Amino acid sequence: MPTDNGKSGDMPGLLLFGAGGHARVVADAVLRAPLARAIFASDRNDAVCTGELLPGIPMVPVAKALLLGRFHLHVAIGDNASRERECRAFGSERMQSIHHPAAVVSPWAHIGAGSFIAANAIVAPGARLGRGVIVNHGAIVDHDVEIGDFAHIAPAAVLGGGSRIGRAVLVGSGAVVQPRLVVTADVIIGSGSVVCRQIDMPGTWVGVPARRIL
Ligand SMILES: CC(C)(COP(=O)(O)OP(=O)(O)OC[C@H]1O[C@@H](n2cnc3c(N)ncnc32)[C@H](O)[C@@H]1OP(=O)(O)O)[C@@H](O)C(=O)NCCC(=O)NCCS
């Protein structure tokens, strides 16, 4: 299996790091594939570390979370730069990949540490995802696609077979990257846009065909 939602290994707990909407989406996925171990959540902002992220997942201040012992960690932050910063701060050795039980992930895909695959997303054989990648609800990552570290493929986006998406790219919701095209690092592709040619310059690209605006 490319990911196991943390069932393997001998670490007793899973820490979800983040308190926003994306963290609740990840928590929902984890709760639907129950684990026989403690799940808790935390955030840099102590003010939000009260109550529960979702029922059964207590929020604890980060200083306390770090004292709770050995745990797998998943940084559940949608923003690419913030997710990368937190993954680097914690170190990658205990990063846990998570996929929703309703995601379809090929056993012949490679999923990097700390990645998240949401409900109804498809990751086809030969796809290679880096570390800390998000493939959000209903997105399609076709065969042999490569995705760099800390990229985010937003809901219902489609990456054509053999396309290569650079590090920290955001492919907006419903956007399409046509097969075999290359998108360089640090690009934002607007929602609903269609990438019809290689993108070799960082910036914000929108429209059909996608053109650079920022
Ligand atoms: C592309 C995007 C980042 C631009 O945001 P922004 O920098 O705040 O830019 P603005 O909203 O000021 O728009 C700038 C121009 O681009 C146009 N534009 C913005 N998004 C566009 C899109 N997706 N398609 C076509 N045109 C778009 C605006 O109409 C505006 O045009 P104008 O200058 O002629 O008025 C944003 O619109 C977007 O699509 N974000 C992706 C959201 C997403 O899918 N997130 C994932 C959540 S899980």
| pLDDT digit string, tens, across residues 46-67 | 999 999 999 999 999 999 988 8
Residue nearest to atom 39 of ligand 1 (CA): 190
pLDDT in tens, 131-182: 999 999 999 999 999 999 999 999 999 999 999 999 999 999 999 999 999 9
Tell me if the domain spanning 13-96 has CATH number 3.40.1170.20: no
Residue type, 99: H
Residue nearest to atom 28 of ligand 1 (CA): 206
pLDDT in tens, 106-124: 999 999 999 999 999 999 9
CATH code assigned to 99-205:
2.160.10.10
DSSP string, 61-100: -HHHHTTS-SEEEEE--SSHHHHHHHHHHH-STTB--EE-
The answer for residues whose C-beta is within 8 angstroms of residue 51's C-beta and 6 or more apart is 58, 59
Q: Give the model's confidence band at 92: pLDDT under 50 very low, under 70 low, under 90 confident, else very high.
A: confident
Residue nearest to atom 32 of ligand 1 (CA): 213
In 18-59, which ranges are E strands?
A: 38-42
CA angle 153, 155, 160 (to 5 degrees): 55
Residue nearest to atom 3 of ligand 1 (CA): 190
Q: Give the model's confidence band at 3: pLDDT under 50 very low, under 70 low, under 90 confident, else very high.
A: very low
Helix, strand, or coil (residue 25)? helix
Mean pLDDT value across the chain: 92
Per-residue pLDDT, 34: 66
Residue ranges in the chain assigned as alpha helix (H): 21-32, 62-65, 80-90
Per-residue pLDDT, 102: 97
Pocket lining for ligand 1, CB < 6 angstroms: 78, 136, 154-155, 172-173, 188, 190-193, 204, 206-207, 213-214
Residue nearest to atom 48 of ligand 1 (CA): 154
Q: How many angstroms separate the alpha carbon of residue 205 from the centre of ligand 1? A: 9
Residue nearest to atom 2 of ligand 1 (CA): 190
Helix, strand, or coil (residue 30)? helix
CA distance 3 to 110: 9
In 122-169, which ranges are E strands?
A: 122-123, 128-129, 134-135, 140-141, 146-147, 152-153, 158-159, 164-165
Q: How many angstroms separate the alpha carbon of residue 167 from the centre of ligand 1? A: 20
Per-residue pLDDT, 1: 30
Residue type, 111: I
Peptide bond preceding 202: is omega within 30 degrees of 0, i.e. cis?
no
CA distance 193 to 172: 8
Question: Domain boundaries in the chain?
Answer: 13-96, 99-205
Which mutation among 117, 191, 193, 195 tests ligand 1's pocket best, with the greatest number of atoms within 8 A of CB? 191
Alpha carbon dihedral 23, 168, 102, 91, in 10-degree steps, equals -60
Q: Pick the atom of ligand 1 nearest to 172's CA.
A: 44
